[in-house]
Amino acid sequence: MLLFLSILGGWTLDIVYFEMIENFKEDKCIICYLKNKAMDKFFDDFLYESVNDYSLRDKIRKGGICPAHARKLESFGDVLAHAIIYSDLLSNFKNNHHIEILPRKKKAKEQNMCVFCEKENGFEDTYTRAFSSFFATQSQFKSAFAERGFICQRHLNQVLEKTASVSVQKELLSVMGAKIDRILNHLERIKEKNDYRNIHINYTPDEIRAWHMAIEFVAGAQ
């Protein structure tokens, strides 16, 4: 058990520790799960508390909303909030695009990021840093992850980048290598069952799950 309180990007480490260890699943990336959970809360708070925040709306006007987060926001179905946000964006576009005055191209440093992308990147950074710290220093965390945890390749790479110890990097890769080997074994059986001599044999639940786990590892969860 952790006996310290420390702040990482505004989050209390012991809370993040137990949030991670209690939500390990054999077939779901822990970083994707917690990042998406945090983003859902951010969207909810934004729609019901911050949609009239001038400074936040100004950031949205400058950076816009990326396609993925526009659709995610739309799924929450708050019509009034969308009317407020998009009237800003549409008016801003109209005011800055006139037939007689073409918009000047922005330099790279002037490009603004979708405020939701910025927030999502922040959550990913917090959780991957925490994972790196816990795996390196907490034996209970390491054992629990080896037994029942999972992480997608993108977040695994982010964790490895934040892990200074080469031996810890190798240990994490070894744990994930064993999990990937199990997936590969099941995928091979799926391929074997598609041979004409075995076509009558049904896929097992573990084989079906391995198919989904392969996708989870390669693509993560939206």
Is 4 a member of any domain? no
Number of domains in the chain: 1
CB within 8 Å of 130: residues ≥ 6 apart: 8, 11, 13, 16, 17, 20
Is 8 a member of any domain? no
Is 137 a member of any domain? yes
Regions of the chain where pLDDT drops below 70: 1-13, 97-111, 195-198, 201
Is 6 a member of any domain? no
Is 13 a member of any domain? no
Is 21 a member of any domain? no
pLDDT (0 to 100) of residue 64: 85
Q: Vertex 156, ends 158 and 135: CA angle to 5°? A: 95
Is 58 a member of any domain? yes
Taking CA atoms, 45 is separated from 24, 85, 123, in Å, by 26, 15, 15
pLDDT (0 to 100) of residue 126: 94
pTM reported for the whole predicted model: 0.81
Is 9 a member of any domain? no
pLDDT (0 to 100) of residue 85: 86
pLDDT (0 to 100) of residue 166: 97
User: Per DSSP, which regions of the chain are E strands?
Assistant: 7-8, 11-12
The burial class, CB within 10 Å (0-12 / 13-18 / 19+), for 163 is buried
Q: What are phi and psi of 7, to 5 degrees?
A: -105, 130
pLDDT (0 to 100) of residue 81: 86
CA dihedral 161, 162, 164, 170 (to 10 degrees): -60
**Model confidence pLDDT, tens digit, residues 44-62:** 888 888 777 888 888 888 8
The parent domain of residue 206 ranges over 26-104+111-219
Distance CA 191, CA 210 (A): 12
